[in-house]
Amino acid sequence: MKQTTFVIIGLGLIGGSLAAAIRKKFPQGRVVGVSRKGRTIAFAKKKGFIHEGFTRLKLAVRAAKFVLVCSPIDSIPKLISEVDRFAPPGTVVTDVGSTKSEIVNWADRKRFRNIEFIGSHPLAGSHLTGIRHAKGDLFRGAFVFVTPSRKSSRRAFASASSFWKRLGANVRRVSPKVHDQIVSEVSHLPHAIASILMHIVSSNSFRYRAAGFSDTTRVAQGSPELWTPIMLTNRANVLRDLRRFERVLRRFRVLLGNRSKKSLYRFLRIAALRRSRSGSS
């Protein structure tokens, strides 16, 4: 992979960070970026994230070996199809989309002419978007899920896994289905709850927020352009987890309504112990 031509489609937070990381970790590789905006390409070049940039995908992937699609979930299938039309045979393609079943099932149904696809998802990033927030060390120490299906190419799986490891990531192989269940609990349900809290808080109370409220709602600042398709493509898991949330919420309401001091204490203590056992992060 050392002298590979990497093509990154979507030079935002994740795509820009990937470009910067590849420049560091694959010094002999060539990094080509694709953005719809000329000024993003100019910025990426000025920062030294990419060697070359294009607004037209067709031109960018002509000599590609490894392609990373880093755009919102609902744009990914179309972009992968386009890469398949114009990339050389044997090109390995992965994406960084935050849900995996829909994309991987779609790819399994497709008959690609030139590419071998494998799904990935780095558990790195933040509520910030855009290349201006990109960081070359974003993936160091982060979990990255690589999500093969029964139809995935072993070569693509091996390439993607070794690529992420080289960036310092902690690679985990999981099925797309299990992946989507995990991220529903640790990311999508919390995002829904943070958004709900922002709908509930009054403007007056919000002025007096302290660390607790800010920590709990930080993710609600995430881009709706990214989050709407994430929620919709993981709808069944998020709905199931919302039902679980409602059941526990009902229990909490009963404990409080009944002034059950002991039970309320126990409820809070179990949560505190579980959370503190995981360390400070």
Please report which helix (H) or strand (E) contains residue 144, including its range: strand 143-146
Strand order in the sheet with 52-54: 52-54, 30-34, 5-9, 66-69, 91-95, 115-122, 143-146, 170-173
4 binds ligand NAP (CB under 6 A): no
Q: CB nearest ligand NAP: which residue?
A: 12
Question: To the nearest whole angstrom, how small is the minimum distance from the Cβ of residue 74 to ligand NAP?
Answer: 7
CA distances in angstroms from 33 to 9, 78, 89, listed in the order given: 6, 17, 20
Question: To the nearest whole angstrom, how small is the minimum distance from the Cβ of residue 31 to ligand NAP?
Answer: 15
Among 24, 37, 155, 165, the residue binding ligand NAP under the rule CB under 6 A is: 37
Please report which helix (H) or strand (E) contains residue 92, including its range: strand 91-95
Whole-angstrom distance, CA of residue 47 vs CA of residue 44:
5
Tokens of 206: 């919000």
Question: To the nearest whole angstrom, how small is the minimum distance from the Cβ of residue 107 to ligand NAP?
Answer: 15
H-helix segments, the chain: 13-25, 38-46, 57-60, 76-86, 101-109, 154-166, 176-183, 189-200, 203-206, 211-217, 224-233, 235-257, 261-277
Backbone phi and psi for residue 23, each to the nearest 5 degrees, phi listed first:
-55, -35
11 binds ligand NAP (CB under 6 A): yes
187 binds ligand NAP (CB under 6 A): no
Q: Which of the ranges 8-16, 188-196, 235-243, 247-255 carries the binding residues for ligand NAP, by CB under 6 A? A: 8-16
Among 19, 194, 226, 238, the residue binding ligand NAP under the rule CB under 6 A is: 226
19 binds ligand NAP (CB under 6 A): no
Whole-angstrom distance, CA of residue 145 vs CA of residue 125:
14
53 binds ligand NAP (CB under 6 A): no
Question: To the nearest whole angstrom, how small is the minimum distance from the Cβ of residue 34 to ligand NAP?
Answer: 8
Which 82-141 positions form the footprint of ligand NAP (CB under 6 A)? 96-98, 121-122, 124-126, 129-130
13 binds ligand NAP (CB under 6 A): yes
Going by C-alpha positions, the residue among 123, 140, 101, 111 that lies closest to residue 235 is: 101
DSSP character at residue 111: -
Question: To the nearest whole angstrom, how small is the minimum distance from the Cβ of residue 172 to ligand NAP?
Answer: 14
Which 65-84 positions form the footprint of ligand NAP (CB under 6 A)? 70-73, 75
Specify the residue, 97 or 148, whose C-beta has the smaller distance to ligand NAP: 97
Question: To the nearest whole angstrom, how small is the minimum distance from the Cβ of residue 106 to ligand NAP?
Answer: 14
Binding site for ligand NAP (CB under 6 A): 10-15, 35-37, 40, 70-73, 75, 96-98, 121-122, 124-126, 129-130, 223, 226, 230
